[in-house]
């Protein structure tokens, strides 16, 4: 992976962990409000980015619909479980499935080093959640919700990876995706979430900016590098989320999690050179 693309995905990972931490923080705005704010944030940009290529419109529609379920599941998950447990599971499991899907659809198979690196990342993020299981930081309801969202993440990552390539213009695809997702959320608690977030406009704006930056940068990277490697590298966000949980949310961080961070970092280095 080119150094510039690698750096962009790492920034996307940090931004993604940041908005999830905002959604999890007690008394903060939830994920649905952040998604609505993201749509409002990019709305003024639409006249300047134009329309993506017509070939990407089916992907746009499908992704906007599935993102409704994604954001609502994120809200539900964070009501039930700790960020440092739920987040690694949601982000660590999908990349391998995405690699298999894009390999079948595009014939885009990672190298042997790429597969080993992705396996290291997946093992690291699952190990990162392991200590949380031991401390009972996630209950059965949280795990069922996480499992559902893993399927959702696999679907939209694959669809958007294909869609952004067909769009001919990553910025246009990204902006329209956020606006359409916000519109789709309107009848599913979107207005109520925005009203609840009015007391914290700064947090809402920051969460929206992180969300747009995180996914926008990741989708751009998917147009420049293999989708599977970008999806796996983006899961460095799990390490960032664990550190945020430690520093700002009062969550535990023991020896097992430090080992998981080391394993995940080794996988990231492997992806860089795959």
Q: What is the pLDDT of residues 183-210, one digit of tens each?
A: 999 888 888 888 877 878 888 888 889 8
Least confident segment among 56-65, 66-75, 115-124, 207-216: 115-124
pLDDT value for 265: 75
Whole-structure pTM value = 0.77
The pLDDT, as a whole number, for residue 138 is 55
Q: Residues 57-74, buried b or exposed e (16+ Cβ, 10 A)?
A: bebbeebbebbbbbbbbb
Q: State the pLDDT at residue 144.
A: 80
Q: Can you give the length of the chain in residues? A: 274
Percentage with pLDDT > 90 across the chain: 22
Sign of CA dihedral 167, 171, 175, 178: positive
pLDDT greater than 80 at residue 102: no
Say how far apart CA 49 and CA 175 lie, in whole Å.
Answer: 8
Query: What pLDDT does 85 receive?
Result: 66
Average pLDDT over residues 205-218: 90
Task: Report domain extents, the chain.
Answer: 3-273
Would you state the pLDDT for residue 25? 65
For residue 132, the model assigns a pLDDT of: 57
- Confidence class of residue 251 from pLDDT cuts 50, 70 and 90? low
| Radius of gyration, alpha carbons of the chain | 17
For 69-80, what is each residue's pLDDT tens digit? 888 887 787 676
Average pLDDT, the chain: 80
Tokens describing residue 198: 């009015």
Q: Which residue has the higher pLDDT, 241 or 53?
A: 53
Contact in structure between 10 and 233 (CB atoms under 8 Å): yes
At a CB cut-off of 8 Å and minimum separation 6, what does 45 contact? 171, 175
Range 229-246 average pLDDT? 76
Residue 48 scores a pLDDT above 60: yes
pLDDT at residue 42 greater than cutoff 80: yes
Residue of higher predicted confidence among 113 and 245: 113
Report the alpha-carbon distance of residue 180 to residue 188 in Å, rounded: 13
As a whole number of angstroms, the distance between CA 9 and CA 27 comes to: 29
């Amino acid at each position: 992976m080119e150094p510039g693309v690698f750096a962009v995905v790492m920034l996307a990972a940090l931004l993604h962990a940041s908005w999830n931490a905002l959604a999890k923080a007690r008394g903060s705005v939830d994920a649905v409000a952040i998604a609505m704010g993201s749509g409002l944030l990019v709305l003024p940009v639409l006249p300047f980015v134009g329309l993506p290529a017509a070939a990407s419109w089916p992907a746009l529609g499908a992704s906007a619909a599935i993102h409704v379920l994604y954001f609502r599941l994120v809200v539900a998950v964070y009501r039930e479980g700790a960020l440092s447990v739920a987040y690694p599971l949601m982000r660590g499991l999908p990349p391998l499935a995405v690699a298999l899907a894009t390999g079948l659809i595009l014939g885009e198979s990672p190298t042997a080093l790429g597969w080993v690196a992705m396996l290291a990342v997946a093992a690291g993020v699952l190990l990162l959640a392991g200590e949380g299981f031991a401390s009972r930081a996630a209950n059965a309801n949280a795990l069922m919700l996480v499992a559902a969202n893993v399927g959702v993440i696999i679907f939209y990552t694959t669809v958007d990876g294909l869609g952004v390539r067909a769009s001919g213009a990553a910025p246009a695809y990204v902006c329209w995706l956020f606006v359409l997702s916000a519109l789709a959320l309107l009848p599913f608690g979107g207005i109520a979430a925005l009203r609840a977030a009015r007391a914290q406009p700064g947090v809402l704006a920051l969460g929206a900016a992180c969300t747009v930056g995180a996914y926008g940068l990741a989708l751009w990277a998917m147009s420049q590098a293999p989708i599977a490697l970008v999806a796996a590298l983006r899961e460095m966000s799990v390490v960032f989320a664990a550190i945020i949980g430690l520093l700002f949310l009062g969550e535990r961080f023991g020896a097992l999690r430090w080992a998981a961070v080391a394993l995940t970092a080794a996988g990231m280095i492997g992806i860089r050179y795959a």
